[in-house]
Amino acid sequence: MAYSEKVMDHFTNPRNVGEIKEPSGVGEVGNPRCGDIMRMYIKVKDDVITDVTFKTFGCGAAIATSSMATELIKGKTINDALKLTNKAVMEALDGLPSVKVHCSVLAEQAIKAAIADYYKRQGMDPTPIVGKLTECEECACGLHE
């Protein structure tokens, strides 16, 4: 299984690792049975994600996709962050092996979960804005066997 230079760079030098004190929202996705768990923390001011960090338990691809996803949404509006797709994360990393696509799906889901938590903390129902979040049973991405 070959990884791109960007994947290796984000795995060995991950950006935005850690927790945010008093976050605006926190989202956790994944499942210990599949081995990948991602937790994203966001800080929001005036509808802009001013800071984003992550803690990921998983393979190198999971760490790399978490790192890249945080880079792609930092400084963006919530609306723009919600438009980030797993495909965009993979493209930014110059691709992933097919057996690791689920990692990019989890990164997208973690961002949406953190934004949903932000809206809940504001006393709002996030579903009309974020959409219905699926739980990771065998991993909701359906790519784990």
Both tokens of residue 128? Answer: 């009309």
Q: Is residue 136 annotated as a catalytic residue, yes or no? A: no
Reported as a single tens digit per residue, the pLDDT across 89-125 is 999 999 999 888 888 899 999 999 999 999 999 999 9
Among the listed residues 34, 136, 139, 141, the single catalytic one is 34
Q: Could you count the other beta carbons within 10 Å of the beta carbon of residue 25? A: 25
Q: Is residue 141 annotated as a catalytic residue, yes or no? A: no
Say how far apart CA 60 and CA 143 lie, in whole Å.
17
Contact 46, 27 (CB under 8 A): no
Among the listed residues 59, 103, 136, 139, the single catalytic one is 103
pTM for the structure as a whole:
0.90
Domains, the chain, ordered by start:
5-129 (3.90.1010.10)
In a 10 Å sphere around its CB, with 0-12 CB exposed, 13-18 middle and 19+ buried, how is residue 60 labelled? Answer: middle
Mean pLDDT in the chain? 90
